[in-house]
C-alpha cells in the first residue's frame, strides 16, 4: 500500500480515539496535571509533524523517480495529508482532560 493510505488510516484511527476519549473521558480517565497535559499534547503534535514530513518526503521521492502526471499527482497526494494534519492538530490542541 502507498504511504498516504497508512497516514490516512493512522489519522482516522487517532481521530476516532480522540472522539472516544472526548465522550468517555470523565467516566474512564484519571485527571492529568498541567505539565503532563502539555507534554502529551507536544508528543501528539510532534507525531503529526513527523507523519506529514514523512509523507512529503515520500511524495517528493516519487516525483523525482516518475515525472508522469506531475505535479498534479504530488498535489493530489498532499491534499489529504494536509487535511488530516490540520484536523489532527485541531483535535490535539482542543484536547482537554480534567485537571488534577
pTM of the model: 0.66
The whole-angstrom separation of Cα 29 and Cα 9 is 25
What confidence score (pLDDT) does residue 24 get?
52
Position 39 scores a pLDDT of 94
- Going residue by residue through the chain (100 aa), what tens digit of pLDDT does each one get? 566 666 666 776 677 677 666 655 555 667 889 999 999 999 999 999 999 999 899 888 888 888 787 788 888 888 989 999 999 999 999 988 888 8
User: Strand locations in the chain, DSSP E?
Assistant: none
pLDDT given at position 48: 92
DSSP state of 97: P
The predicted structure's pLDDT at residue 67: 78
Phi, then psi, of 32 in degrees rounded to 5: -130, 130
Amino acid at each position: 500500500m502507498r504511504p498516504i493510505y497508512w497516514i490516512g488510516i493512522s489519522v482516522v484511527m487517532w481521530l476516532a480515539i480522540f472522539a472516544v476519549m472526548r465522550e468517555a473521558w470523565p467516566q474512564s480517565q484519571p485527571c492529568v496535571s498541567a505539565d503532563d497535559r502539555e507534554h502529551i499534547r507536544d508528543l501528539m503534535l510532534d507525531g503529526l509533524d513527523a507523519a506529514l514530513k514523512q509523507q512529503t518526503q515520500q511524495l517528493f521521492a516519487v516525483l523525482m523517480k516518475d515525472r508522469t502526471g506531475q505535479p498534479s499527482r504530488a498535489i493530489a497526494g498532499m491534499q489529504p495529508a494536509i487535511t488530516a494534519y490540520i484536523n489532527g492538530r485541531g483535535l490535539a490542541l482542543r484536547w482537554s482532560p480534567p485537571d488534577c
